[in-house]
Amino acid sequence: MKSLLYWGGIVVLAVVLGLGSAMLVMRTGGMGDDVTIGPWHASLAAGSASADMYTRARVARFGLLALDKKETLYYTASTDSAGETLSGSCTYVVTGNDLATRWWSVTAYGPDSFLIPNEAGIYSFSKTTVKREADGHYIVRVSANHQEGNWLPVKLGERFDMTARFYNPDASVYADPGAAKLPTIVKESCK
């Protein structure tokens, strides 16, 4: 009986450690072949046949309806350009120019990795919806409080992430994904 309890305990411990380490890697670990540009990170393995089991699990868990790597590259930011965690208690200014791709979008996601519900019904800005300045660049304010112009609502007090999607990226982006021009994310104020 002691032997059965001993080996049963070992099996349970192994399962708990295995599942726990897999969940930890899925939540905090990179997905392999990572590229970083300022606050933006991309996994070049995501959406490819070379993706390992952890990358596939992360995409299944957090990358709802992720497209094949041949069609789309995803860059995600969980911090601002100064390296501080994005918070709904602050207002951020996201500034950039058109991304080197046929079509792009920048979207905010809540801590559950889903769109952030808001009364304005605004969830992202894209190449075709963002209003531009006279010189062609855009400015988007990300805030829990209503902002004039391009405003991307988030929830007060909650952390959030932003994803920049490159749909049919230019050949230059595939050749050097670490040199892609992405918007800056600058904290303007906090409550």
**For 97-133, what is each residue's pLDDT tens digit?**
999 999 999 999 999 989 999 999 999 999 999 999 9
Domain ranges for the chain, please list them: 1-30, 32-190
Mean pLDDT of the chain: 83
In 3D, which of 21, 11, 6, 85 has the Cα closest to residue 53? 21
**For 137-151, what is each residue's pLDDT tens digit?**
999 999 999 999 999
Three-point CA angle 125, 41, 181, nearest 5°: 60
Whether 66 shows a pLDDT value over 90: the answer reads no
CATH architecture assigned to 32-190 = Sandwich (2.60)
Whether 79 shows a pLDDT value over 60: the answer reads yes
Give the model's confidence band at 31: pLDDT under 50 very low, under 70 low, under 90 confident, else very high: very low
In 3D, which of 121, 118, 94 has the Cα closest to residue 106? 94
**For 36-58, what is each residue's pLDDT tens digit?**
999 999 887 554 455 555 555 55
Q: What is the pLDDT of residue 30?
A: 47
Q: Tell me the two tokens of residue 45.
A: 């393995």
Q: What integer is the mean pLDDT of 75-90? A: 97
User: Measured between alpha carbons, how far is 24 from 43 in angstroms, rounded to an integer?
Assistant: 17
